[in-house]
Amino acid sequence: MSELFGTLPDGTPVHRWTLERAGVRVRVLSYGGIVQSVEVPDRDGHVADVVLGFADLDGYLAHPEPYLGALVGRYANRIAGGRFPLEGVTYSLAQNNAPNSLHGGERGFDKRVWDVEPVEHGVRLSRVSAHGEEGFPGRLVVSATYTLDESGALRFGYEATTDAPTVVNLTNHSYFDLSGAGSAGGAGGHELRLAASRFTPVDGDLIPTGALDEVAGTRFDFREARKVGSGYDHNLVLDKGVTPAAVEIAELYDPASGRVLTVATTEPGIQLYTGEHLDEPFAPGAGIALETQHFPDSPNRPEFPSTELRPGQTYRSETVYGFSAR
């Protein structure tokens, strides 16, 4: 089901699509590929929205920085100094997270209106990112398919092709509060289990140093479930590496409601962000983002898994958010 959600200042209409299956209801916007809401039951059957979002389009336009629920790209996360080399050419990007480029630049995929078409149990979003858009090389033809499976799990399938060498790293930037979006306690009391034995330490600008440090004995060790707490905006290295099919790597649990979020992905890393920079109408720590991804600054780190895409190749990535209660 689709409906008009609002109109951009230039007159472009924005539509909202509602997906519903197995007791889960998801609302998706054509603007930014945003997941506006995900409604799921708790252990007692009470339904609540578990992702942070705004009730209207004006909210997203007035507060773009948190990337609430958005499809981010062409490159999710940070690129150091807003520059990277590729085949002998250095490309310059917007330093929108000075001195770095973040989530695709000033007007990344999160601020574009996508073409949307229905598919079985979901929607397919698509657009063409022109050569030079936000400084990235290559004409990128990209699609993102959002579907609900028979269990009510939300599946993201990304594909892209290019006519020139480029870099690609796409993710969804939803913030989860399994007690219900806007709950008094926020998400800091949630418990996280994560199959990651290493993480990428960062410098003062949140750029990886290049090391892959062990999580043992550090606050990044979530190999056994424990309370998340606060103060995280870091990439953890998933033990499974890059895989052709999505593998479950994380579980987030809210003891208060009994709601459980599982995360499966093909990606080699996940950014754990506890939302300390969220502001009105949300409080710092109101939600937890679990952004499946390749590592930050990979275009400048040949020792990291590659994010390069060349003509004749197809970029593919899949992430699945599963919902249950106990």
What are the residue numbers of the active site?
Answer: 173, 291
Asked if residues 258 and 42 have their Cβ atoms less than 8 Å apart, the reply is: yes
Strands (E), 52-149: 70-72, 78-79, 83-86, 89-92, 101-102, 115-119, 122-129, 140-148
Give CA–CA dist 270/202, Å, rounded: 14
- Helix, coil or strand: residue 139: coil
Which conformational region is residue 297 in: left (phi greater than 0), alpha (psi within -120 to 50 degrees), or beta? left
Cα distances (angstroms) measured from residue 262 to each of 59, 107, 274: 28, 30, 17
Give CA–CA dist 173/325, Å, rounded: 23
Question: 10 Å Cβ neighbour count for 218?
Answer: 10
Contacts of residue 323, defined as CB under 8 A and 6 or more positions apart, other chains included, come to 24, 38, 40, 50, 152, 153, 154, 259, 260, 261, 262
Helix (H) or strand (E) holding 58: helix 57-62
**Structure letter (DSSP) for residue 295:** P
Give CA–CA dist 249/226, Å, rounded: 15
Q: How many helices and strands, by DSSP H and E, does the chain display?
A: 1, 28
Asked if residues 12 and 130 have their Cβ atoms less than 8 Å apart, the reply is: no
Give CA–CA dist 275/284, Å, rounded: 6
